[in-house]
Amino acid sequence: MTKKIAVLPGDGIGTEIVAEAVKVLDAIGEKHNVSFEYEYGLIGGAAIDEVGVPLPDKTLELCKNSDAVLLGAVGGPKWDDLPVHLRPEGAALLGLRKNLGLYANIRPAKIYPALVDGSTLKKNVIEGVDLVCIRELTGGLYFGERKREKTETGERAYDTMVYTTEEIERIARLGFETAMKRNKRLTSVDKHNVLESSRLWRDVVNEVAKDYPEVELEHMYVDNCAMQLVRWPKQFDVIVTENMFGDILTDQASMLSGSIGMLPSASVGGEVALYEPAHGSAPDIAGQQKANPLATILSVAMMLKYSFNLQSAAEEIEIAVEKVLNGEYRTADLMEEGKKEATTSQIGDLVVEQL
Ligand code: IPM
Ligand code: MG
């Protein structure tokens, strides 16, 4: 079996973390008789510098003609002051998600036993945490109408949160399907007490729930959810929520897995899925081999599972990561007393060794 992967390293630490994920893919491919063919594409600031736009047509074509997409990260201070249509985050990342029809972002947060003591949260709170957040990715506040205009006294600006029945239904369904494969508990997060779009959200989720009588459904306000995630995160199995709420809650949930450098993600819903760490390009540590590559490595495990149906290969990567964390080496974000600091590429090598 041969699989073609579009590789988009992007900016900042993107190049370094993607290199480690590719190493791991090569190793697992050899073990499972799959050969991965990589074609590299430009995205984000790197693309602006080379060809003047953050999401070149060529990159989009490459993604559409591949079996899966692996992305590092985009953005950095160098491109922060560009006009909106050139900003790496909006134009490149959001453009790519929208163009590929990736309406669902799956972000699992689970704590590895070896990281329990290193967390900023108490051991009894995070021990055993294992949840998945399903974030709507192509609608809501990120894609609604927006404007900034001059007024007599200054300026006014607005963004709008828009959802249709269809958009809510398909993401809700994925939430229920995911819950069915896990512990059959789904928390739908909204702001039903204030927002009209949340009232539609809740109605549609309740409709879809009729098709999944085995799933225990709970509705939760987003502010309460933010609080519950740090108070008692073990109550959650699957969370489904709007784009912006999901963006915020998943950064918060990442700390339940020890570090934002541990949170992988899969964006699905179109013909080709996209795999990327949930974190950004970390320009402050770029090029220094300090970044944690594990979120990206765990993202390729998700690729094997969701795009190629290679369950056991995916699990082998997860086990290899766990073994590395049980050992003595860590990247800076996970440092604890008694551990030795390792570079990005050393961690990648250690994962490969464990395979
Ligand atoms: C994420 C990121 C992106 C988002 C940014 C870089 C546009 O924060 O994937 O969570 O907000 O979706
Ligand atoms: Mg985010």
Using most ligand atoms within 8 A of CB, pick from 89, 141, 244 the residue to mutate for ligand 1.
89
Of the candidates 246, 276, 263, which has an alpha carbon nearest to the alpha carbon of residue 111? Answer: 263
Of the candidates 307, 184, 163, which has an alpha carbon nearest to the alpha carbon of residue 241? Answer: 163
pLDDT at 177: 97
Clarify whether 284 is annotated catalytic. Answer: no
Equal CATH topology for 1-105+263-355 and 120-257: yes
CATH code assigned to 1-105+263-355: 3.40.718.10
Helices then strands (H, E): number in the chain?
Answer: 12, 14
Of the candidates 105, 40, 33, 42, which has an alpha carbon nearest to the alpha carbon of residue 66? Answer: 40
Instruction: Answer whether residue 27 shows pLDDT above 80.
Output: yes
pLDDT at 286: 95
Residues with CB under 6 A from ligand 1: 89, 93, 247, 278, 280
Euclidean distance between CA atoms 347 and 291, whole angstroms: 10
Q: Quote the ligand 2 centre to 299 CA distance (angstroms).
A: 15
Phi, psi of 142 (to 5 degrees): -70, -25
Clarify whether 247 is annotated catalytic. Answer: yes
Buried b vs exposed e over 165-194: b needs ≥16 C-beta within 10 Å? eebbebbbbbbbebbeeeeebbbbbbbbee
Query: Which residues, 6 or more positions from 141, have their beta carbon under 8 angstroms from its beta carbon?
Result: 159, 160, 161, 242, 243, 244
Q: Quote the ligand 2 centre to 31 CA distance (angstroms).
A: 34
Decide if 242 contacts 140 (C-beta within 8 A).
Answer: yes
Calculate the average pLDDT of the chain. 96
Domains of the chain by residue range: 1-105+263-355, 120-257
What DSSP line would sit under 89-148, residue for residue? Answer: IIIIIIHHHHHTT--EEEEEEE--GGGGGGSSS-HHHHTT-EEEEEEE-SSGGGTS-EEE
**Given 142, 163, 212, 275, which residue is catalytic?**
142
Model confidence at 216, in pLDDT bands (50, 70, 90)?
Answer: very high
Categorise residue 242: left if φ over 0, alpha if ψ from -120 to 50, beta otherwise: beta
Using most ligand atoms within 8 A of CB, pick from 11, 43, 71, 93 the residue to mutate for ligand 1.
93
104-108, 257-261, 319-323: the lowest-pLDDT one? 257-261
Indicate the pTM of the whole model.
Answer: 0.94
- What average pLDDT does this structure show over 27-46? 97
- What average pLDDT does this structure show over 322-349? 95
Domain 120-257 sits in which CATH superfamily? Isopropylmalate Dehydrogenase (3.40.718.10)
pLDDT at 120: 86
pLDDT at 90: 86
Model confidence at 331, in pLDDT bands (50, 70, 90)?
Answer: very high
pLDDT at 118: 76
Positive/negative CA dihedral, 10, 13, 50, 54: positive
pLDDT at 332: 94
DSSP designation for 256: G
Clarify whether 191 is annotated catalytic. Answer: yes
- What average pLDDT does this structure show over 201-210? 98
Instruction: Answer whether residue 32 shows pLDDT above 80.
Output: yes
Instruction: Answer whether residue 70 shows pLDDT above 90.
Output: yes
